[in-house]
Amino acid sequence: MNKNEIVKELKSTITEFQQLISSFDEQQLNAVPFEGSWTPAQVARHICKANSGFAEALNGPVQDTDRAPDQSVKTIERIMLDFTTKMNAPAFILPEMKAYNKERLINTLEDIKVDVSKAVTDLDLTQTCLSFELPGLGQVARLEAVYFMIYHTQRHAHQLKNIKNKHAVN
């Protein structure tokens, strides 16, 4: 486990997501691209809501992990990066139906990137987070939580690319 590589992947994933959000003009950002879709801004708000608690969870109470701390990373990757499967977000991370400010979203993502990168650098990633659980996996090691955040953000970056392509066609 190379923390520098993890931080690099985390930063590049969030930076790519920020760049995708930046690529939408203000009208596109808050427009529903097709029926059943969130707006690009709602996708960004979802990622902000989902990722905003990670620094706190990583810095929260932990215990020793009684298994390999990366045991679920491949499972998380397989689930999150399977773009053929539609998932429903839990209510607490659903984006509100409203217009969003692009700069505010990008700045929130930047704060998350800084805070989680610091946690990855400073903390023992083999410890299990006691204040955070993944559905179907239960409590996860800090390392697994970070990779969940990375893969979840990559999943929604893929969604933004699809929305961007839809705008390019129209």
Distances (CA, A) of 44 to 41, 129, 136: 5, 25, 25
**pLDDT value of residue 168:** 63
118-145 average pLDDT score: 94
Farthest CA pair distance, the chain: 53
Q: What percent of the chain has pLDDT over 90?
A: 81
Beta strands in 13-146 (DSSP E): 62-63, 128-134, 138-141
**pLDDT value of residue 110:** 98
pTM attached to this predicted model: 0.94
The phi and psi torsions of 63 (rounded to 5 degrees) equal -145, 165
**pLDDT value of residue 132:** 85
Beta strands in the chain (DSSP E): 62-63, 128-134, 138-141
Task: For each of the domains in the chain, give its residue range(s) and CATH number, in order of start.
Answer: 3-169 (1.20.120.450)
pLDDT tens for 83-99 read 999 888 888 899 999 99
Residue 148 carries which side chain, given as an amino acid letter? F
pLDDT tens for 12-31 read 999 999 999 999 998 899 99
Residue 21 carries which side chain, given as an amino acid letter? I
- Residue of higher predicted confidence among 69 and 167: 69
Average model confidence (pLDDT) across the chain: 94
